[in-house]
Structure 1
Amino acid sequence: MPLDEDVVEAIYREHGAALRRFVLSASRDPQQAEDVVQETVLRVWQHAPEISGSLRSYLYRTARNIMIDNYRRAQRRPESLENSLTDPADALEKVDGLLNRVLVEEALLRLSREHRDVLVALHYRRFTVNEAAVQLNIPSGTVKSRAYYAVRALRTILDEMGVEG
């Protein structure tokens, strides 16, 4: 398949910076991170017709897989381990945690403002229902109702993005 530079450039321009931050949070080597980003964009471009759901979540999952593949390759060549994470379980856990956080943040942005505000107050800021009601200037019954529907909507969005669990 010939390289469509405009499509690759558009993916890189729209998602490259966020993808680079994601990869750099798991790797201390900027050059290695840039290589992962470039390989990710090219792989995603190659599979673009098959992608269903969120392009960004697909990019992050692809980058995660590339980082894990690179780490496994480095395990077979111990001399190249100096720039990688020290424990494979730690590396996988860290990358998976970052991926989950990024995908949940993306899903939260797709909720209505009212639903997002309630979830942030209850789950991230750890407010009680009454504290959230005061903070958001709405009745506590409304907080409970919005929380219920917000969680359902969030689950639907995460399912559409292909996030399991």
Structure 2
Amino acid sequence: MARTPRDEALITAVYAEHGRALLAYATRLTGDRATAEDVVQETLVRVWKHPDVLVNGRGSVRGWLLTVVRNIVIDRARARSSRPSEVTDDEIVAPIAPDHAGGVVDSLTVLAALEQLSPEHRGVLAHLYFAGRTLDETAQVLGVPPGTVRSRSHYALKALRRLVETPAEVPA
């Protein structure tokens, strides 16, 4: 369809008379000025393709234009919702699960070190850290004074730290 000066004059006149109202309405519907401008442009293309609607005498021209704007916005929303959502580059790469092998090795190292502690030191640590007892509760369960529990836990942790930090020799 070739443009004529008459078509350009028609579009210019429609835009001059109704452009601000169309843009305001489209902006209100879309919430985005750039999208609203695209909607108004598409509305004017439809006017250009069907100029007879403007002169057929049925209803208001502005009413028809606002209806076209609303329909375009609805069509765009439906098209967006029917398509799968777009994926960014960050979402394409699958997240890497943390490797828990280090934690397993650490647990085995600590368990091996605990076995090398004296039964008194191992018992205090078991009550305080594994059973979650307080210092006084541990003292009561073990039947020793709280000061003894405090002292044993201090020396037990010191020995455990030394055992864990010193790599064990692996037999050849």
Tell whether the structures are fold-level matches, with TM greater than 0.5.
Answer: no
**What TM-score results when the alignment is normalised by the length of structure 1?**
0.45
**What TM-score results when the alignment is normalised by the length of structure 2?**
0.43
Identify the structure with the greater helix proportion. Answer: 1
